[in-house]
Structure 1
Amino acid sequence: MLAPVVDEDGAPFWQYTAQGELRVQACAAPGCGELRFPPRPCCPHCQSFDSEWRLMSGRGRIWSYVLPHPPLLPDYAEQAPYNAVVVELAEAPRIRLVGNVVAAPDAALNSVDPARLRIGAPVRAVFARLGELTVPRWLLERP
């Protein structure tokens, strides 16, 4: 499987996922507080370099999804058909994360029937170990 690349700005995100927490970088400048993802050193709203990591509820909705056909990467071919989703976070609609909807945290990427996916479907984050990292995945709220 492909593992995400961890850089200096995003390292705290992965440290929190290892603890089972979904956190998003936020500007810590007085009067700003804007959330940003992907993580970066400077706030795009006020240009401050002060930041903090805010705990999210882990709830969201499917903003978009795709069922890759044909799978282009050999590591994923045996799991087809699988889904790749973009999830809009409930408390931060402008923050969207990419992942997979699965039946359980450690389930295969093809563990959910693609016919069950809908734009706007509520989901919640769960966490699965993938090599050295713990990655967020998504469960349908109303299976």
Structure 2
Amino acid sequence: MTSPPKPAPVPTPETQPFWDGCAAGELRIQRCTSCGEHVFYPRPACPHCHSTDLEWVTSDGTATLHSYVISHRPAPGFAGETPYVIAIVELPEGVRMMTNLVEVEPDPEKLPLDMPLRVVFEPRGDVHLPLFAPAGSAA
């Protein structure tokens, strides 16, 4: 019996520019042109000032580790990959994303908070998923 494939997000009209950026190797987030705040997850209005004047900008692809958990129980599609790191990373623009960390041992000694990270993209289904690796690891 084969294990199920890893789940893949399904783009919506609101999120399509994000996924298009990931496919192009760019991490895109929204910025409100009214108040200047950056926004993530993609949405139709700014959560800070409620303006609908949002534009897409490209982040530089760096982040820092804000929080994490090491999962020892595989989600569907992740059998044989445990343990793995589920993380919250913070981009320089101030937004946080939930993601997985790759290219690092799932060991608390190797996962200091505020560790510098860089984005990498994993093809999954019809999308490319942004994951993060330590900034000093091989590309």
- Give the TM-score taking structure 1 as reference length: 0.83
- Does structure 1 residue 114 correspond to structure 2 residue 102? no
What is the SS of the residue equivalent to 1:77? coil
What is the SS of the residue equivalent to 1:92? coil
The whole-number CA distance in structure 1 between the counterparts of 2:65 and 2:13 is 28
What is the SS of the residue equivalent to 2:78? helix
The alpha carbon displacement at 1:134 in A equals: 0.8
> Unaligned 5+ residue runs, structure 2?
1-5
What is the SS of the residue equivalent to 1:75? coil
The whole-number CA distance in structure 1 between the counterparts of 2:48 and 2:112 is 32
Aligned residue pairs total 130
- Give the TM-score taking structure 2 as reference length: 0.86
Please give the residue correspondences for 1:100-139 in structure 2 after superposition, counting only pairs within 5 Å.
100-103=100-103, 112-115=104-107, 116-139=110-133
In the alignment, what sits opposite 1:49? 52
What is the SS of the residue equivalent to 2:48? coil
- Does structure 1 residue 63 correspond to structure 2 residue 66? yes
What is the RMSD of the two structures over their aligned residues, measured on CA atoms? Answer: 1.4
Match of 2:77 among 46, 59, 75: 75
The alpha carbon displacement at 1:23 in A equals: 1.2
The whole-number CA distance in structure 2 between the counterparts of 1:101 and 1:74 is 18
> Unaligned 5+ residue runs, structure 1?
104-111
- Return structure 1 stretches of 4+ with deviation > 6 angstroms: none
What is the SS of the residue equivalent to 1:16? helix
In the alignment, what sits opposite 1:140? 134
In the alignment, what sits opposite 2:3? none
Q: Which amino acid aligns with 2:112?
A: R
The alpha carbon displacement at 1:25 in A equals: 0.6
The alpha carbon displacement at 1:51 in A equals: 1.3
